[in-house]
């Protein structure tokens, strides 16, 4: 019963955010970047400005809607990159073993030794702020869990009868990995991917908050918050709504991930709590 | 010997609750064990032997619970006992050895301490006295150099040694009844005999009654005076051990006997295939109507599929639950 | 035991070297020279002559491999270079920031442990109860909260509306200043610890040796005291170690928000100012701290868990 609740609530929250992002041009009241009007600066939430306005008089409701696009793009794409890297490295390392395995292992250990936000921050420090840089910074720094998992699964799966059979049939290594091994480890990888997406959304927000991700005036939830601190005494709503949006998105993804784990990966309840 | 039996189990039913529905995992099981007697429960896995023994010591946990029947230990009904009274009984007067010695001991605690707990719990000993007593207990189960061994952790011991420690724990307070749930199944064949001998010697010396549970009819027949054969949550036959081999009454028992390899049988009867019983034990939720063994039984007739066979006393002593018993 | 520690130290050495190399490559090869990166930030426009002089002064004219050799040699003597901005040795710049960061991470981990472990424990002892539901909903929410937003909200409520605590800054370094940032930073590890503890306790509750303990006639309280706590501790401790590292990393955001003069805000400020030696140095120190803590946890686990062999 609880499984359903996880999946249901998570799914609803996440779908709502996706819909908000997709339909932003139709749902928004104003242009998120251009429609600044100092006449209406720091208006509290009301009938005209649902979530109020910021210091430049921009409609926060519209900006939050558009912010969903950036958060989701970064969250989904960067986690996809991580998953591809993690699976490619882990799967091949587990299957081939030998020196390649040693290299991948060393690489993974090193990645685990650097807190991923710090690593992403370092990359952002070198690249100029922006969407592409964010994708690179977040896509390259969070694959170690997926990699470890793929490696462990490949190691245990490769001695299975059907994999041995495929070898005897003369299938190529790549084909065996993609058709025999990958489908059998997909469940846990999807789970880690979903949870990782939540992490990526948080990381994007954090980097943008620090002024290293999406730069103002573009409406990233994180950068909206970094502007908001100075107005927290006079206009707290500038801070409240973008933060709530991040929270709802990440909560949705986390609940979805938990729910999927109960279904797809039931024996791993303790692996990553 | 008209004295009161040590343990009386009457019409025991154990329910498995799944999503609000109760399934009888064990039903109508009755047997008695006298003081100092060894009684065996035999059957394939999944037939309810282990949960019967857990019920006797009050350790059934959700989703399992006692649904009906009575368990009387030393004249007292154990279901009527408070949790505190039951705890006093447990370990002190009824104790248990489990199948898996690898996991039944706490990996982070020295074995001496795990034995000593018994004396602290039930004898009110101090830890210091308890340590001395645990050395004795280890010596009793023939562990060499016990005073050094008590500091060992379970992972430093072999499977057989660990099972000795389990026996030392179980017999520490000289209980009246020892429940041994497949105590040798997880061990090497060479070690099995030693462990069984140990259980037999120690229980005989202290007059401890033993309920031995195993899927191995040969082992049970060797160890026990009387045998109960369980199938799909029911006791289908109960006999003196010596007779079970010679004249099994229930078709299931015959099947178990026929599936045993006998030493020297080949020279006598020529090369023969061991007989197996076809099929598997049905899951609790899918017990068949009538006699629960009927889908697998070679002697099944129409009545077996519709009517539940009652318990029939046998002429030579013992009970059987079959429409067509031999 | 000593050899175990030494061996663990030796194991981390290659990782430290690799991290140092990566940091060097990232900052010294890709972005070009120090001076060109200076002009990147758009605020300071240097003329060509000044650039050439500065490059020479900081040794950026040398080929890469010589610079790397120098970098590693300096590292071996705990020399992290000189700050572009303050012209002070990076080690002393970082040293000033270590204590505030240590205070913050320790305080937030203490908060996380003090709240998360009991929460998970209570939840596991009554699975499916309302206590369990509430604590697990709290946990998943805690994991989903952006720290800086939580910090902002705490700041708004407790500093600005209620006026109970200072809104930001280090002040005199007293506890009052520490409370809000360490809660903001500690909520996520608290949530994770609650979940890990719950899972660990639930798993151990169903372990065979706990059944043995019950069969011995032990009360549930004794079972928990004598057999459950220690076993759960090993699992929880490992999570604490891993979380410590994450917290050091995440402290960057919280320190920046609360203007906390720690390693994290030093790192962010230096990134904005393109003070590359300080950036490199602080990242390296953060990684070192992270590795050190994980090593400590390994040693602690080895003490508690006899199955982990020292040799």
Kindly report the three-state secondary structure assignment for every residue of B191-251.
HHHHHHHHHHHHHHHHCCEEEEEECCHHHHHHHCCEEEEEECCEEEEEEEHHHHHHCCCCH
CA angle C161, C162, C166 (to 5 degrees): 95
Q: What is the DSSP pairing of strand B94-97 with strand B234-240?
A: unpaired
Residue (of C252, C279, C290) closest to C16 by Cα position: C290
Q: Specify whether B60 is located in the same domain as B151.
A: no
Distances in Å between the Cα of C131 and the Cα atoms of B127, C135, C198 are 36, 6, 12
- Both tokens of A82, joined, read 């991580």
- Both tokens of A233, joined, read 């005494």
Alpha helix (H) residue ranges in chain C: 2-24, 34-40, 48-57, 64-76, 90-125, 130-144, 147-154, 175-205, 208-215, 220-222, 229-257, 263-273, 276-304
- pLDDT category at C13 given cuts 50, 70, 90 is confident
The secondary structure element, H or E, covering residue A170 is none
CA A23, CA A18: separation in Å to the nearest integer? Answer: 9
- pLDDT category at B266 given cuts 50, 70, 90 is low
- pLDDT category at C129 given cuts 50, 70, 90 is confident
> Is pLDDT larger for residue A51 or for residue B259?
B259
Residue C311 has pLDDT above 50, yes or no: no
Q: Which residues pair with A194 in a beta bridge?
A: none
Chain C residue whose CA is closest to B166: C212
Which among A127, A229, A240, A259 is the top mutation candidate for probing chain C, defined by the most C β-carbons within 10 Å of its own β-carbon? A229
Chain C residue whose CA is closest to A235: C156
Mean residue pLDDT across chain B: 86
Tell me the per-residue pLDDT of C73-101, one tens digit each, with 9 for 90 and over: 777 777 777 777 777 888 888 888 889 99
Backbone angles phi, psi at A214, to 5 degrees: -80, 125
Q: pLDDT at position B60, please?
A: 87
CA A263, CA C160: separation in Å to the nearest integer? Answer: 45
C40-62 residues labelled b (16+ CB within 10 A) or e (exposed): eeeeeeeeeeebeebbeebebee
Q: Which residues of C touch A116 (CB under 8 A)?
A: 249
**If you ran DSSP here, which 8-state letter would residue B11 be given?**
E
Asked if C215 lies within 8 A of B59 by C-beta distance, the reply is yes
- pLDDT category at C293 given cuts 50, 70, 90 is confident
- Give the sign of the dihedral formed by CA B37, CA B43, CA B45, CA B48: negative
Q: Specify whether B243 is located in the same domain as B315.
A: yes
Subunits next to B (3 or more Cβ pairs <8 Å) are: C
Q: Specify whether B42 is located in the same domain as B157.
A: no
Residue B241 lies in a domain: yes
Does the CB of A113 have a partner CB in chain C at under 8 Å? yes
Residue B167 lies in a domain: yes
Lowest mean pLDDT among A20-29, A150-159, C49-58, C149-158: C49-58
**Residue pairs spanning B and C at CB distance below 8 A:** 73
Name residue, tokens 């407790």: C158
CA C285, CA C98: separation in Å to the nearest integer? Answer: 9
- Note down the domain range covering B306: 7-93+173-320
Q: Specify whether B12 is located in the same domain as B66.
A: yes
Does the CB of C217 have a partner CB in chain B at under 8 Å? yes
End-to-end CA distance of chain C: 8
Rounded to the nearest angstrom, the gap between the alpha carbon of residue A24 and the centroid of all alpha carbons in its chain is: 20
Q: pLDDT at position B272, please?
A: 59
Q: What is the DSSP pairing of strand B38-42 with strand B226-231?
A: parallel
Q: Specify whether B188 is located in the same domain as B164.
A: no
> Is pLDDT larger for residue A240 or for residue C116?
C116
Which residue from C209, C217, C306 is facing B88, i.e. has the nearest CB? C217
The secondary structure element, H or E, covering residue B39 is strand B38-42
Map out the domains of chain C as residue ranges.
1-90, 98-304
Residue B279 has pLDDT above 70, yes or no: yes
Is the peptide bond between A217 and the residue preceding it cis, with omega within 30 degrees of 0?
A: yes
Q: pLDDT at position A210, please?
A: 86
CA B186, CA A96: separation in Å to the nearest integer? Answer: 35
Q: pLDDT at position C35, please?
A: 47
Residue (of A55, A54, A72) closest to A63 by Cα position: A54
Chain B residue whose CA is closest to C230: B108
CA B320, CA B310: separation in Å to the nearest integer? Answer: 8
Subunits next to A (3 or more Cβ pairs <8 Å) are: C
pLDDT, average across residues B172-199: 88
**Nearest chain B Cα distance for residue C222, angstroms:** 10
Tell me the per-residue pLDDT of C189-198, one tens digit each, with 9 for 90 and over: 999 999 999 9
Is the peptide bond between B63 and the residue preceding it cis, with omega within 30 degrees of 0?
A: yes
**If you ran DSSP here, which 8-state letter would residue B132 be given?**
H
Which residue from B88, B90, B108 is facing C215, i.e. has the nearest CB? B90
Q: Is B66 helix (H, G, I), strand (E, B) or coil?
A: strand
Chain A residue whose CA is closest to C271: A125
Q: pLDDT at position C41, please?
A: 46
* Exposure on the CB side of residue A229, measured as CA atoms within 13 A: 20
Q: pLDDT at position C61, please?
A: 66
Residue B326 has pLDDT above 80, yes or no: no
Q: What is the pTM of this model?
A: 0.81
Note down pLDDT in tens along chain A; length 273 residues: 445 788 888 888 888 888 888 877 777 667 766 666 666 666 677 776 667 777 776 777 778 888 888 888 899 999 999 999 999 999 999 888 889 999 998 889 888 888 888 888 888 888 878 888 889 889 988 899 899 989 988 888 888 878 888 888 888 888 888 888 888 888 889 888 998 999 999 999 898 888 888 877 778 888 888 877 777 777 777 788 888 888 999 999 988 888 888 788 766 544 433
Asked if A122 lies within 8 A of C26 by C-beta distance, the reply is yes
Give the CATH number, domain containing residue B309.
3.40.50.300
End-to-end CA distance of chain B: 30
Q: Specify whether B58 is located in the same domain as B203.
A: yes
Q: Is A41 exposed, middle or buried (0-12, 13-18, 19+ CB in 10 A)?
A: middle
Chain A residue whose CA is closest to C13: A110
- pLDDT category at C292 given cuts 50, 70, 90 is confident
The strand order across the sheet containing B76-77 reads: B21-33, B7-18, B64-73, B76-77
Asked if C140 lies within 8 A of A255 by C-beta distance, the reply is yes
The secondary structure element, H or E, covering residue A74 is helix A60-96
**Nearest chain B Cα distance for residue C59, angstroms:** 56
Residue B325 lies in a domain: no
Which residue from C31, C248, C290 is facing A126, i.e. has the nearest CB? C31
Which residue from C217, C218, C230 is facing B108, i.e. has the nearest CB? C230
Tell me the per-residue pLDDT of C210-257, one tens digit each, with 9 for 90 and over: 999 999 989 888 998 899 988 888 888 888 888 888 888 889 999 988
Tell me the per-residue pLDDT of B32-91, one tens digit each, with 9 for 90 and over: 999 989 999 998 877 888 899 999 998 888 788 898 889 999 888 988 889 889 989 998
Query: Which of B156, B172, B188 represents a domain boundary (last residue)?
Result: B172
Mean residue pLDDT across chain C: 82
CA B183, CA B170: separation in Å to the nearest integer? Answer: 12
Backbone angles phi, psi at C78, to 5 degrees: 60, 35
Q: Specify whether B248 is located in the same domain as B210.
A: yes
Q: pLDDT at position C32, please?
A: 46
> Is pLDDT larger for residue A231 or for residue B16?
B16
Distances in Å between the Cα of B116 and the Cα atoms of B119, B132, B158, B241 are 5, 8, 20, 36
Asked if A239 lies within 8 A of C272 by C-beta distance, the reply is no
Q: pLDDT at position C46, please?
A: 55
Query: Is the predicted ipTM greater than 0.95, yes or no?
Result: no
Q: Specify whether B251 is located in the same domain as B122.
A: no
Asked if C152 lies within 8 A of A109 by C-beta distance, the reply is no
Q: Specify whether B131 is located in the same domain as B121.
A: yes
Backbone angles phi, psi at B94, to 5 degrees: -120, 130
Contact present, B63 and B18 (Cβ < 8 Å)? yes
Contact present, A24 and A59 (Cβ < 8 Å)? no
CA A103, CA A98: separation in Å to the nearest integer? Answer: 9
Q: pLDDT at position B47, please?
A: 84
Q: Is C266 helix (H, G, I), strand (E, B) or coil?
A: helix
Contact present, A58 and A48 (Cβ < 8 Å)? no
- Largest Cα–Cα distance in chain A? 76
Q: Specify whether B182 is located in the same domain as B233.
A: yes
CA-atom Rg of chain B in angstroms: 21
Rounded to the nearest angstrom, the gap between the alpha carbon of residue B237 and the centroid of all alpha carbons in its chain is: 15
Residue C34 has pLDDT above 60, yes or no: no
Q: Which residues pair with B12 in a beta bridge?
A: B29
Map out the domains of chain A as residue ranges.
75-238
Asked if C279 lies within 8 A of A239 by C-beta distance, the reply is no
Does the CB of A68 have a partner CB in chain C at under 8 Å? no
Q: Which residues of C touch A239 (CB under 8 A)?
A: 149, 152-153, 156
Q: pLDDT at position A271, please?
A: 40
Which residue from B91, B104, B153 is facing C217, i.e. has the nearest CB? B91
Q: Which residues pair with B26 in a beta bridge?
A: B14
The hierarchical CATH code for the domain A75-238 is: 1.10.3720.10
Asked if C234 lies within 8 A of B108 by C-beta distance, the reply is yes
Q: Is B96 helix (H, G, I), strand (E, B) or coil?
A: strand
CA B314, CA B249: separation in Å to the nearest integer? Answer: 9
**If you ran DSSP here, which 8-state letter would residue A59 be given?**
B
Q: pLDDT at position A268, please?
A: 56
pLDDT, average across residues C257-284: 87
Q: pLDDT at position C101, please?
A: 92
Q: Specify whether B165 is located in the same domain as B208.
A: no
Which positions 229-268 of C are in contact with B (Cβ < 8 Å)?
230-231, 234
Query: Which of B121, B149, B172 represents a domain boundary (last residue)?
Result: B172
> What superfamily does domain C98-304 belong to in CATH?
MetI-like (1.10.3720.10)
- Tally the domains of chain B: 2
- pLDDT category at C27 given cuts 50, 70, 90 is confident
Q: What is the DSSP pairing of strand B226-231 with strand B234-240?
A: antiparallel
Q: Is B24 helix (H, G, I), strand (E, B) or coil?
A: strand
């Amino acid at each position: 019963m609880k499984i359903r609740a996880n999946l249901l609530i998570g799914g609803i929250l996440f779908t709502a955010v996706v819909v908000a992002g997709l339909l932003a041009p139709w749902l928004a009241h104003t242009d998120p970047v251009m429609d600044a009007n100092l006449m209406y600066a720091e208006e509290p939430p009301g009938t005209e400005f649902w979530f109020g306005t910021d210091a430049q008089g921009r409609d926060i409701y519209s900006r939050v809607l558009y912010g969903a696009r950036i958060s989701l793009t970064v969250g989904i794409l960067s986690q996809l990159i991580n998953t591809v890297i993690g699976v490619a490295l882990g799967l091949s390392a587990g299957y081939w073993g030998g020196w390649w395995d040693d290299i991948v292992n060393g690489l993974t250990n090193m990645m685990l030794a650097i807190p991923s936000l710090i690593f992403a921050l370092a990359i952002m420090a070198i690249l100029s702020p922006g969407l592409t840089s964010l994708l690179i910074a977040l896509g390259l720094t969070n694959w170690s869990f997926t990699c470890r998992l793929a490696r462990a699964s490949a190691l245990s799966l490769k001695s299975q009868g059907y994999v041995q059979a495929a070898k005897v049939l003369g299938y190529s290594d790549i084909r065996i990995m993609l058709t025999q091994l990958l489908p059998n480890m997909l469940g846990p990888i999807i789970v880690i991917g979903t949870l990782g997406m939540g992490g990526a959304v948080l990381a994007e927000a954090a980097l943008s908050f620090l002024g290293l991700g999406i730069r103002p005036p573009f409406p990233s939830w994180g950068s909206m918050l970094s502007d908001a601190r100075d107005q927290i005494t006079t206009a707290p709503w500038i801070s409240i709504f973008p933060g709530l949006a991040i929270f709802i998105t990440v909560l949705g993804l986390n609940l979805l991930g938990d729910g999927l784990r109960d279904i797809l990966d039931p024996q791993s309840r303790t692996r990553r709590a | 010997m008209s004295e009161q039996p040590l343990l009386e189990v009457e019409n025991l039913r154990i329910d498995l609750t799944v999503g609000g529905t109760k399934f009888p995992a064990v039903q109508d099981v009755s047997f008695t064990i006298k003081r100092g007697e060894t009684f065996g429960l035999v059957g394939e896995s999944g037939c309810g032997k282990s949960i019967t023994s857990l019920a006797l010591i009050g350790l059934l946990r959700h989703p399992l619970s006692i649904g009906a029947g009575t368990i009387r230990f030393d004249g007292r009904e154990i279901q009527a006992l408070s949790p505190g009274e039951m705890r006093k009984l447990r370990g002190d007067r009824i104790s248990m050895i489990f199948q898996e010695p690898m996991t039944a001991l706490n990996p982070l605690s020295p074995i001496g301490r795990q034995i000593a707990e018994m004396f602290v719990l039930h004898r009110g000993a101090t830890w210091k006295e308890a340590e001395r007593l645990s050395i004795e207990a280890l010596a009793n189960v023939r562990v060499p150099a016990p005073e050094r061994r008590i500091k060992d952790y379970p992972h430093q011991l072999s499977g057989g040694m660990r099972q000795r420690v389990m026996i030392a724990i179980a017999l520490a307070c000289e209980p009246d009844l020892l429940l041994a749930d497949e105590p040798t199944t997880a061990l090497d064949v060479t070690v099995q005999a030693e462990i069984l001998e140990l259980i037999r010697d120690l229980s005989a010396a202290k007059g401890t009654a033993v309920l031995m549970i195993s899927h191995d009819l040969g082992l049970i027949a060797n160890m026990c005076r009387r045998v109960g054969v369980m199938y799909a949550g029911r006791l289908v036959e109960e006999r003196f051990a010596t007779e079970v081999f010679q004249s099994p009454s229930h078709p299931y028992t015959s099947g178990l006997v026929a599936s045993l390899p006998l030493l020297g049988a080949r020279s006598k009867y020529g090369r023969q295939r061991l007989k197996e019983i076809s099929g598997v034990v049905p899951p609790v939720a899918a017990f068949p109507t009538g006699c629960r063994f009927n889908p697998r039984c070679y002697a099944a007739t129409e009545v077996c599929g519709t009517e539940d066979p009652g318990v029939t006393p046998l002429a030579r002593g013992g009970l059987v639950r079959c429409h067509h018993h031999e | 035991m000593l050899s175990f520690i030494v061996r663990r130290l030796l194991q981390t050495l290659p990782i430290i070297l690799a991290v140092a190399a990566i940091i060097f490559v990232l900052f010294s090869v890709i972005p070009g020279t120090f001076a060109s990166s200076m002009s990147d930030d758009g605020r300071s426009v240097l003329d060509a002559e000044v650039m050439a002089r500065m490059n020479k002064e900081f040794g950026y004219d040398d080929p890469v491999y010589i610079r790397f050799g120098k970098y590693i040699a300096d590292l071996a003597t705990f020399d992290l270079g000189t700050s572009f901005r303050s012209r002070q040795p990076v080690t002393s710049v970082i040293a000033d920031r270590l204590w505030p960061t240590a205070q913050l991470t320790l305080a937030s981990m203490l908060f996380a442990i003090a709240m998360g472990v009991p929460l998970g424990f209570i939840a596991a002892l009554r699975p499916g109860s309302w206590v369990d539901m509430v604590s697990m909903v709290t946990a998943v929410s805690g994991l989903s909260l952006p720290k800086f937003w939580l910090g902002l909200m705490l700041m708004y409520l407790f500093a600005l509306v209620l006026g109970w605590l200072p809104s930001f800054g280090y002040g005199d370094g007293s506890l009052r200043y520490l409370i809000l940032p360490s809660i903001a930073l500690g909520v996520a590890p608290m949530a994770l610890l609650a979940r890990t503890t719950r899972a660990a306790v639930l798993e151990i509750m169903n372990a065979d040796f706990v059944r043995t303990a019950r069969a011995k006639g032990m009360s549930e309280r004794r079972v928990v005291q004598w057999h459950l706590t220690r076993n759960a501790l090993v699992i929880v401790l490992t999570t604490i170690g891993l979380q410590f590292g994450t917290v050091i990393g995440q402290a960057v955001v919280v320190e920046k928000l609360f203007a906390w003069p720690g390693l994290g805000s030093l790192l962010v400020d230096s990134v904005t100012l393109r003070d590359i030696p300080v950036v490199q140095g602080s990242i390296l120190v953060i990684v070192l701290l992270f590795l050190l803590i994980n090593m400590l946890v390994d040693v602690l686990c080895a003490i508690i868990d006899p199955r982990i062999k020292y040799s």
